[in-house]
Amino acid sequence: MVRVMATGVFDLLHPGHVYFLREARRLGDELVVVVARDATARRFKHEPITGEASRLQLVESLKPVDRAILGREGNIYDILDELRPDVIALGFDQIHNEDRILEECRRRGLGTRVVRLPRFEGDLDGTRKIVRKVGEWLALQERLRQIEGGPAGAEGPGRKGPPGGDG
């Protein structure tokens, strides 16, 4: 049984996340995903938009994921003692240093391999891209309202939300 561990914030779940987890799952027989705590996300990336409990629930519902757990507070490497992964899958854009991870694994008596997965190319393949796209969409809607003479924030006839969306 080859246990693969993948980690991430998984804020605003998107196709890049699904690709990452699908590819990580292919590296072994079991995929355990460590979802970063809110405090860890703040320290390493950004203020999460979605709370850790919601992110955990979404990740554990994905087909490639066998088990999802919240990361540990403090030393992010302490989870290695509990999970004892055979493989650690890293996303192409994760800031983790492979040599540092291998050093930690060896120190803990693990023969873990570290694999950096290739980049996923997609329109909305990152949380920041999604946030930027939503901001652009909201700005466009505001400009249209101003052009049409409606009050800011008002929804005119036929304006119940994004085109094709469920508003």
**Architecture (CATH level 2) of domain 3-116:** 3-Layer(aba) Sandwich (3.40)
Question: How is residue 75 written in tokens?
Answer: 């030393």
Contact 45, 9 (CB under 8 A): yes
d(CA 12, CA 133): 13
Q: For the chain, give the percent of residues with pLDDT over 90.
A: 54
Among the residue ranges 48-52, 73-77, 100-104, the one predicted with the least confidence is 73-77
Q: What SS3 state is found at 89?
A: strand
pTM: 0.75
d(CA 83, CA 32): 8
35 versus 73: the higher-pLDDT residue is 35
Q: Look at residues 15, 79, 101 and name the one whose alpha carbon lies nearest to residue 70.
A: 79
pLDDT tier, 128 (very low <50, low <70, confident <90, very high otherwise): low
Q: Where in the chain is the domain with CATH 3.40.50.620?
A: 3-116
**83: burial class by Cβ within 10 Å (0-12, 13-18, 19+)?**
middle
